[in-house]
Structures are given as C-alpha cells and as structure tokens.
Structure 1
C-alpha cells in the first residue's frame, strides 16, 4: 500500500529518473560486503553503524569515510581503490534487480523519457543494467565526473558537458532532467537513500521514496514513499494515467 500522501499521484511526470543501487539493482549488499572486505584487507573492521552512514555515498566519499572512521587517513586512496575492486567483482557475479523494479521500468518504457542518476561508476551502472536486461529502457545515464583524483575517469554525464558532482549535490539529477528535455519540477526521481533524496530534492525534482521509510524528518523530503516499485497502487497509477507506447525505446 502507498503511504503518506496521494498528492504525487494526482498528476504524471514528463520524465522519470531512477537511482541505481538499492532502487533498480540490489547492490547495497554488495557495497556492504565490499566495504567489509576492503577494511579487512588492511586489518580493520567497520565501525558500528557504518553501513547506514555509507549508504548512497559515492565510492570515493565512502573510501574517505572508511579511512576517517578507522583513524587511518593515510589509507584513503588504498581503501577507495580496494572498495571499488571488490564491488566490481561482486556485482559482476550477482546482478539482481530490486523487487518490482523490472516490471515498473518496463511498464514506463516507451511512454516517456527514462534516465538513471547514480553515484556508481559508469561501468558499474552499464554492466548491472545490461546483465539485468534493463539498459535498453534508459535514454541517458548520468554519473559523477571529476569528483576525485582517485577516480578512474569512467564517470561522466552521458551527453553532458562539465563536471558533475556526486549526490547529495544536485548535479546528477539536474543533468538527467535536462538531458530528458524537461524542467526539473516536471521530472520524478525514484530513490531509496536519504543522500539521493537530498540530491533530487535540491535539483527540484519530485521524489518517490522506495523501501523502508527511514526514521527522522529527512525522509519527509520525499513526496511519497512506497514499499517496493511493485506496489499495486503504483503500477495501477502508471497503467491508468500514462498514455500507451508513444516513445521508442533507448538502446541496449
């Protein structure tokens, strides 16, 4: 059942921009495993509550946080590199979509522009969505670029110029809306993390929160929360209010 308010469902957006990790793809467990493995490689353990603090962060920011919270600032670059290497290996072996995500994306596909705005490296997003059979539904993928000297250079805004900063900066969502050809307030962001919700809200998009609603007032930045993208009310909203197949699909 949809919670909190129906106001978001009173009108339909002109484009939808999805987060990837934890929203489309079930990769948060891979990040958690990769963080544990990266820390363990240096004889360190995750501090209490670290998984929640790290959720939604760009991997370079997560590497810095890992180093700071274990009082090993000199290991920032090494931890960041190890984190990404472990994650890439894990996600390549086990790309799994979140409950309802594939059905929701396929239902929207062809009806209006779809994009992805992620803090993950471009190669991770492309590989994950491709192996899950969802890549062809998205016209644009936007990821951070120029965010860290430790970055491998793969992050870039698809078709977009300039530096794109990671969430919680608004850049990835603002860029995605622009590439979709709509003003921010006409686009809907779909997010599972408070970091991503802050990013989308700052960019001016409407926000649909997915998954367990976090405690605290920050969760109110989402206009609506649903337990999964397969929520019957959400799917009925698309079927009842969105025109049929009016746009061509994107590429694989």
Structure 2
C-alpha cells in the first residue's frame, strides 16, 4: 500500500537503502554519454528516446537493449563491453555527487543503518563513493551478483538483500531512488520509497510514497536533522 505523501516524513524508518546512480552520484549523464560513445563506436546513432528507456537498467541489460534497438542482437556482447569501458573512463575523470547527497547522508550517518543497492558494478559504486567521501557512511553495498543469485533491478533482490544485511524488516526500511526501475525494485522488496530528481511523466511518481526534486529539499534535510529526537518514536 502506498503511504500518503504527507505521512512519509512523519515516519521513522529503521534503515535507509540508497540507489547510487542519479541518487547519490551524478553519473546518469556519464551513462548517457557512454551509451552515445558505444553506439558511435559501432557506427550507430542512439535511437530517439533511448535515454529514457535505458534509465536505471543494469549495464548488461542496457547493452542488450542497445543491440535490439539497432536490430543487431548479435552485437549485444560488444556493445555491453564498450558501454562499460566508456562509462568507467568518464566516471573516473569526473565523479560528482547529486545535490544534497553529502549533506543528507552525513546527517543520518550513525543514527541508523545505511546501505546502497545499485545496478552498477561494485567497483564503480565503491570507487565513486570513495572519491565523494561517502563510502564510510554505508554499512553495506549490494549489487547484482549472478554467483549469489542477486538479480538486477527491477527485480527486488538488491533491496531485499540490503535490508536483510541491515537486520531490519522490509516494511521498516526506506528506499531512496531516482528511477522508476529502482522504485519498482524497492517497492517489490517491501520498502517504502522516496523518489528524488525530475518527476516522472504521467503517473509514474505515484509509485513512490513521496517524490522530491532533490535531496536538498528543506523538509527532507529538516527530517534528517531531527531523526532520533524524542518526538520520533519508531513504530512497532
């Protein structure tokens, strides 16, 4: 059940699980440029609207989608490898945090378990958060892992594993996401969800409990500052 938006910031979760790309780190633009470069490397132009289709996808799923979008499914492996290579080069050269990410995480650090659930490779997530000075605030990093059977978003696996590692029940955890793919994954895992960033078109934003333009939203930072005060009593 979707929690009324005005109720979410009156609630005290027992853990918070963050997406990385587009939520903590401003790396979605790097993925878009990496997709463009990978397409051009193989002699193609990105199809109209492809950026929207690809948002939030695991890079392997994105590579397959790229190949299908140009009607060359046999190029999936090559496009996937090119996509990751270009992205790693871009994100290494210019890691940037999303507005409010550093402030929000630091305000909550030490007050409750914090985790990251991302579709990116672990090396990307940990490297980006390290360069941003944020990695030490998170107790757990969960990414898709075929060896452990952890599937990428929109499957719920990364969120389900993250809340289990945090030692809390899913309905007592908050997921923070910027994409509808991620919102779906967190919702399917049983978390309440805060959406951040540009509001999705149509009724997509209603899949989150609350959608705010950035983590710098005054009401959100005020909530983080007051977390754990006597007036905030956790639900049973």
Q: State TM-score, norm by structure 1.
A: 0.88
- 2:220 is aligned to 234
- Counterpart for residue 166 of structure 2: 180
**Partner residue of 1:115?**
115
Q: Post-superposition shift, 1:217?
A: 2.3
Distance in 1, Cα, partners of 2:49 & 2:74: 22
Residues paired across the two proteins, number: 227
Q: Hey, what's the Cα distance between the residues in 1 that align with 2:62 and 2:106?
A: 32
1:214 counterpart residue number: 200
Distance 1:180 1:5 in 2: 25
State yes or no: 1:56 paired with 2:42: no
CA distance in 2, matches of 1:227, 1:107: 19
| 1:197 corresponds to 2:183 | yes
Q: 1:111: Cα distance to partner?
A: 0.3
Task: Kindly report the root-mean-square deviation, in angstroms, between the aligned alpha carbons of the 2 structures.
Answer: 1.2
Deviation at 1:221, TM superposition (A): 1.1
Distance 1:243 1:16 in 2: 17
Q: Tell me the secondary structure at the aligned position of residue 9 of structure 2.
A: helix
**Where do 1:61-210 residues align within 5 Å?**
61-146=61-146, 162-210=148-196
Q: Which runs of 5+ in 1 are unaligned?
A: 147-155, 157-161, 245-252
After the TM superposition, which parts of structure 1 deviate over 6 Å for at least 4 consecutive aligned residues?
A: none
Gap runs ≥5 in structure 2: 231-236
CA contact (8 A) 1:111 1:243 kept: no
SS, match of residue 188 in structure 1? strand
Q: Is the 8 A contact 1:189 1:200 kept in 2?
A: yes
Alpha-carbon distance in structure 1 between the residues aligned to 2:108 and 2:227 = 11
Secondary structure of the residue aligned to 2:174 is strand
Corresponding residue for residue 152 of structure 1: none
**Equivalent residue number for residue 18 of structure 2:** 18
Give the alignment's TM-score, normalised by structure 2.
0.94
Q: What is aligned with 2:233?
A: none
2:111–2:227 Cα contact (<8 Å) kept: no
Report the alpha carbon displacement of residue 7 of structure 1 after superposing the two structures with TM. Answer: 1.1
